[in-house]
Structure 1
């Protein structure tokens, strides 16, 4: 590598760019990024299910709810009957008590609690569905699921 000090006798300005400082800065930045990236990217290993949808087994004791948010107002339907959140809580507690009594009490062997299946309109605000979930959990229901419509051509696979 040669260095020109301007003693060639030419009065023309030197047009060579000294790239050594730029290369030094780039190497330092490369080393910093190589060290910093593994520290920033921290992930938790998860095995997510590989199922598009799982068919729901409907039992007579399960509770079917429909939730809409038409006009910004949350509307919850128990079957085909429109209910308020207080009525939903009261009906949920009553339904759960009747089902537990029918199966022989809270300490009965093989007690199977009913589930709540929620059908939510795609345009329903989350607060409506979230309030319904919360209300049913307050009533004592443990399993709350969502009923959805699979995309056209989707197949059911269980793994």
Structure 2
């Protein structure tokens, strides 16, 4: 029988991911880049993120290979950088769609969502859906956690509660 308390969370993918993207402004920066806003000043104008915070969040996303810096230069101005998603960054798209879906369901008012995401080809709304490898739709009550191949048992020494 699986008991979550028996297993370490040191290498938990949720915890490790949240160390990178778990800060509010980081997710806002990702939203902007997914919406096609790639330049620092444009992000500042749209989000009002403090300059140093934005600089730090962009650097973190670049350091982790989620964004890449691409140089550009306006005539007569110094070289600057745009921030573009890498393949690793594009893999976060379902996460942002899931956050948007949750916000639409629980936080938007009667007027509805301020933004819709649609499929470029057919125009249908895009949303998240959880499915098992066999293709079945899965609800939270249908899913059961179990130790995976990287699971590590907790060291239940005398100084730790059992």
Q: TM-score, normalised by structure 2?
A: 0.20
Q: Higher strand fraction: Structure 1 or Structure 2?
A: 1
Structure of greater Rg: 1
